[in-house]
Amino acid sequence: MLRGVVDDQKITAVGDIFTMKMHRLGRDYLMINYVVDFELDRRIFWQPAPGDLDTAGGDAARLGVPAGYSWGFVLAPESDDVTQVSEVFDCGLLENDWIIQREGGSWINGVHSVEQSMAETLAKLEILAGN
């Protein structure tokens, strides 16, 4: 899904915004992300919003408006060389529960459930970290 970032600015605080280049179901798209929780080397959470007209369902008023759920990573150092990384998906309000209920969340990337996608992300991070 993730293809890269629009720019490589460093995240430093809650309120920062970053845009990701994404790909799903044969389509490239953009997601604007608002950092809602941040502690350097400990955690980052963001709320995604449609970054292009297609992703906003053709409604320009939805561009840049967070969808009501959040993604994040929690980092727990275990030693100088080892950090446990947990990925978190929060549906937000109860009315967003459909996100997980709909096909086990597989609509998110069109192939796997949210749980499977998260496991793949964490495995990729482990490889990138050289472990």
More confident residue, 98 or 86: 86
3-state helix, strand, coil in the chain (%, to 5): 25, 35, 40
pLDDT, residue 56, reads: 87
Is 102 exposed, middle or buried, given 0-12, 13-18 or 19+ CB atoms closer than 10 A? exposed
Query: What is the distance between the alpha carbons of residues 46 and 8, in angstroms, rounded to a whole number?
Result: 16
Please say whether the beta carbons of 93 and 78 come within 8 A: no
- Supply the pLDDT for residue 78: 92
Judged against a pLDDT cut of 80, whether residue 102 lies above it is answered with no
Q: How many CB atoms lie within 10 A of CB 19?
A: 18
Single pTM value for the model: 0.77
Q: Where exactly are the structural domains of the chain?
A: 2-94
pLDDT bin (cut points 50, 70, 90) of residue 14 is: very high
Contacts for 100 with CB less than 8 Å, ≥ 6 apart: 91, 114
For the residues 8-24, what does the mean pLDDT come to? 90
* Residue 64 or 3, more confident: 64
Residue 112 has pLDDT above 90, yes or no: no
Please classify residue 120 by burial: count the beta carbons closer than 10 Å to its beta carbon, then call 0-12 exposed, 13-18 middle and 19+ buried. middle
